[in-house]
Amino acid sequence: MAAAEGGGGGGGGGARPETTVQRTELGPLLATALRPGESWYLVDSRWFKQWKKYVGFDSWDMFGAGDPSLFPGPIDNSGLFSDPETQSLKEHLIDELDYVLVPTEAWNKLVTWYGCIDGQQPIVRKVVEYGLFVKHYKVEVYLLELKLCESNDPDNVISCHFSKADTVATIEKEMRKLFNIPAEKETRLWNRYTSNTYEQLSKLDSTVQDAGLYQGQVVLIEAKNEDGTWPGQHFLAKGSGFVCNSYNCRDSASLSQPGLCGLSNLGNTCFMNSALQCLSNTPPLTDYFLEDKYEAEINQNNPLGMRGEIAEAYAELIKQIWSGRQSHVAPRMFKTQVGRFAPQFSGYQQQDSQELLAFLLDGLHEDLNRVKKKPYLELKDANGRPDSEVAKEAWENHRLRNDSIIVDIFHGLFKSTLVCPKCSKVSVTFDPFCYLTLPLPLRRDRLMEVTLVYADPQHRPVQYRVVVPMMGAISDLCESLSKLSGVPAENMVVTDVYNHRFHKIFQMDEGLNHIMPKDDIFVYEVCKPSEDGSEYVTLSVYFREKTMRQSSNTSGTILFGQPLLISVPKHKLTVDHLYSVILERISRYVKLPLEEYSTPCLDKGTCNGSNGVVEGDIEEMEHQDGGQEGKEKLAEVDPCHSEGCMQIETPRDLQPYKKQHFTFSLVNSSGTSEINSIVEGKILKLNAFSALAIDWDSDTRRLLFDEQEAQAFEKHGSMLQPQKKKAVVALRDCIELFTTMETLGEHDPWYCPNCKKHQQATKKFDLWSLPRILVVHLKRFSYSRYWRDKLDTVVEFPIRGLNMSEFVCDPRAGSYVYDLIAVSNHYGAMGVGHYTAYAKNKVNDKWYYFDDSSVSMASEDQIVTKAAYVLFYQRRNNEEHTAPSPPQEECDGMDTN
């Protein structure tokens, strides 16, 4: 049967080797290491996963046999495009989740075997090198868009895309070509990043990345005049200014308040701006840099540091922010320096503000480490010694190797206790920390939006919002939907519909973690009446329109509409019966002349519904006939050329059908290739969820198919109800959860020195000492193989009087009372969204909201939100401790006033 599968498509698709050969040939290629300059190709992960299942690629397929019914058809990347016409990529696509990367040789093989959807261009990208000391390679999926113009016509802007590894010389060469500037003419390039600020791009061998160019930046070229002058002398004279250093030093008529200085977004750099504003408003650190104390402490020879360059770049930026001369600056050179040492931050994709903060604190620490030569120290176990002695020893050892302003301000000490479950050996260690990462109490439930397609053909599909267990199964989804709809759970089939086909049909025991928030989930009511105990088979049915290609004079098909699931008794699996069942199912939106309706069929199955999937992802498939056998079968179907439709010869005893409006083909599960033609008059041997295509000619579809009604659906009350207010969690709940004893997982055991083997020990964290500046990271993002989630629980945290004393286990510790000084916020979903900051100005003690280049006044009641991600607290000094204690409710971690 596999040999008969047609699979071409627009891009060809030749003879395919056996699936075992495909596996063997592609396996090593997919494991190829990245090498700079090589080309890799993007493939939609949905197509690629189907190919893997078809050939049995993954190791958990015990026999490596694959599934012949999952033939993937031609390579289809339409799901990656935001615009099918220009084929521009959607923003924020995630590697492995949305696409997979394959090397050139693997791509060429896949195209030879399967072809591509007609008209789709390959998505090819280069491997580029990042990093100054540690070389780091990655495929540059998103190219940088620059806006190019001439100095004498700055309004005529042309957008061009460049790799971050391209040089300034490459940009110049492209601009000379675009603006017809002769090779002998001398030129200069300028970048413009505010309306009147320019900086010359003088180093032609600099890469786009090193030059600090960012997404959407305007680059201007000027050619020297015949008299030897530059046009720039004129356009810069109109009140414009050069850049005096790496930042935008515009002279502002009205001086702004020191510290109230925005940071320009250089292209997805709001995460960096948010972290920098929090650090900038940390008084002891900012005073250290403003008073130039850092200069004497720069450690240029620390192998773990960055030659002092991060410290110097940060100092320059802080001085700009606190100069009081600008309303905002563009931190371009700071970002360039960070990108050189931390390749993960070198691009222009959204990153995590806490990860940048962790890198920055570590980088500043090593650049400013007062220890020039770190001694080797052997770690000792507590061995029953008093905690105070072991803690003092651990802290002194830490200071012998790490002594910087960062340690002075941000470092505290954890106590970690491990107990062996077998021999009860207790191991106590003390470890320094720079910030507290606190877990949030996990949600147990999840809201899902699904569309129920009823068995009643006249019932429009209905969209529901259901509550399901976070780690539940498909059966839980069906039970929850059954309570709202009244449809028995056992009659439901849950599917993921994508591009007019079933991407996946779920089993009842499959986990809900396989369903992403963006998936279109349709639940079909499949009724199986107990009519004489017959065995039923459930079939997938796809709608296809037949097309003729003028160029090649070959026929193709386009998928459209919403697929059906129908349930038919095995003994009635004939073309005629299928035709009558389907005709009834689609009667709500396919209007036939009255006399053409057959008598309604007795067995009730599912009806088609619609979800409002917009038809627009056009896919054309070549039809192969599966060799001579297919041609003989097709010969039994008599084409009715005059009417442009296929007319099946009906048996004499079934006269109600005057004309067949569509024909049947047995197709692969994605509807892209025909496996076999359907022979009328015989009982068809079809398995559960075999896929049939019903093919319409264009005229019939246009005349009879009501697109609007096919896409119509209704909303259940659950969609309209305001969502329940999310539970509020107190910051102290997160701290208590952090300090709760837990048993280590089986994949994370501890080596017990007594038992001489790994054990699943119990582990408990306690806080021994806390720093002057306490940075609290709320762990909002969770990752798993199938699931990336953000917890948007509101965490109530106090603005003043956070009393941490009760959580500190050192009995001789003083009072630990903190006041909030800054918050890094994250709005939106994981991997995307926007970062901002709230911070308290140390000069006037007022709160402000920092949103990239914008700074505005804020009030305390705005600060506690579900967006709060990283909190900065400053410890009250000793003088303040003598002041009257605030009321208990202000000290219990709950106050938000």
- Return the active site residues: 270, 834
Rounding to the nearest 10 degrees, give the CA dihedral for residues 110, 115, 121, 124: 10
> Which amino acid is located at 376 in the chain?
Y
Cβ–Cβ < 8 Å for 615, 707: yes
3-state secondary structure of 318: helix
Task: Please provide residue 25's backbone torsions phi and psi, each rounded to the nearest 5 degrees.
Answer: -75, -40
Q: What angle do CA 199, 202, 206 make, to 5 degrees?
A: 105
Cα 108 versus chain centre, distance: 28
Distant-in-sequence, close-in-space partners of 468: CB < 8 Å, separation ≥ 6: 445, 446, 447, 448, 476, 477, 480, 512
Measured distance CA(272)–CA(349) in Å, rounded:
11
Paired sense of beta strands 262-263 and 328-329, if any: parallel
- HSE of 370 in the Cβ direction (CA atoms, 13 Å)? 12
DSSP 643-709: GTEEEPPPPTT----SS-S-EEEEE-TTSSSEEEEPPTTS-----TT-EEEEEEEHHHHHHHB-HHH
User: Strands (DSSP E) along 717-816, which ranges?
Assistant: 728-730, 742-743, 750-752, 757-759, 762-769, 773-779, 781-783, 788-790, 794-796, 802-803
Q: Are 495 and 504 in contact (CB under 8 A)?
A: yes
Residues in CB range of 106: below 8 A, 6 or more apart: 26, 29, 30, 32, 41
Question: CB-side exposure of 144: number of CA atoms within 13 Å?
Answer: 27
Cα torsion 681, 686, 691, 693 to 10°: value is 0
Bridge partners for 511 per DSSP:
473
Q: Are 818 and 804 in contact (CB under 8 A)?
A: yes
Assigned token pair, 166: 């391209």
Helix, strand or coil for residue 521?
Answer: strand
Closest CA to 797 of 815, 820, 817, 780: 820
Instruction: Give the pair of three-digit tokens for residue 867.
Output: 């967006």
Q: Are 222 and 233 in contact (CB under 8 A)?
A: no
Q: Is 452 helix (H, G, I), strand (E, B) or coil?
A: strand
| Burial zone of 884 (CB within 10 Å; 0-12 exposed, 13-18 middle, 19+ buried) | exposed
CA distance 14 to 111: 8
